[in-house]
Each structure stands twice: as structure tokens, then as C-alpha cells.
Amino acid sequence: MFSKIIFCDEVEKQIDDLDKNILLRDISFFRDIETGKKSLQDYNIHNEGETVRSNTKLRVLREFNVDGKKEFFEKHIIKSAGHRIHFLEKGTNIYIGYIGKHLKTKKF
């Protein structure tokens, strides 16, 4: 379905838990990125703060399997109602590691 967007194994379970309307919007988002209609830079990209990066328990929530190796997905896009998409750009590929509600932070 997609050639440059790659979904990490963890995403399959996350998709099952998504509201149907959110999932449909996400599919549209991925299609727009894949076809070049939009780029990631068209969205408000956030990086995790120092608290998350330096806290092992919070950091591990943002680590996903890429080619058999755990990678830290520091970047995310905030979608409606606190919905997040965590991603990692690697070469020409965009790995999607997490789709869902705001992941735990020190404050949240």
C-alpha cells in the first residue's frame, strides 16, 4: 500500500484500538505524505523534551522496532484531541512507531 511509509510491528495493535474516524483521517494523512501531496514539514512537528529523553521509563515508551533494532522515535505530530503519530525518518523512509493517545510524560 505504501512504499516510503513503513509501519512498525507495534502499530497493528494500536490501529485496532483507534476510533474509526481518527483512523480514516490518519489514512488520509499517510496517503498525502506517500503521494507527495504534503510533506511532514507541512505539519507541526514536535520533539520530545529533555525530561522524556533522559527518563528511561518514559523514553522506552517511544522506542519501536526498526529492522530488528529498537529506535527512539523522538519526533511526533499532534493530531486532533491529543492524538499523536510518532515517526522516525531514516533515509527516504518514514517509520511510524506509534499512533494513538498522548504517551505518558512526567506531567501527563
**Where are the chain's structural domains?**
5-100
Q: What is the rounded radius of gyration, in angstroms, for the C-alpha atoms of the chain? A: 13
Nearest to 10 by CA among 96, 107, 108, 90: 96
At 98, is the pLDDT very low, low, confident or very high (cuts 50, 70, 90)? very high
Q: What is the pTM of this model?
A: 0.92
How many residues does this entry show for the chain? 108
At 12, is the pLDDT very low, low, confident or very high (cuts 50, 70, 90)? confident
DSSP character for 58?
H
pLDDT surpasses 90 at 51: yes
Task: Give dist(CA 84, CA 22) in Å, integer.
Answer: 11
Element containing residue 23 per DSSP (H, E): helix 20-35
pLDDT surpasses 90 at 81: no
Beta bridge partners of 47: 75
Q: Is 4:34 a contact under the CB 8 Å cutoff?
A: yes
DSSP character for 44?
-
Nearest to 62 by CA among 106, 89, 90, 97: 97
At 62, is the pLDDT very low, low, confident or very high (cuts 50, 70, 90)? very high
At 85, is the pLDDT very low, low, confident or very high (cuts 50, 70, 90)? very high
Mean predicted confidence (pLDDT) in 34-41: 94
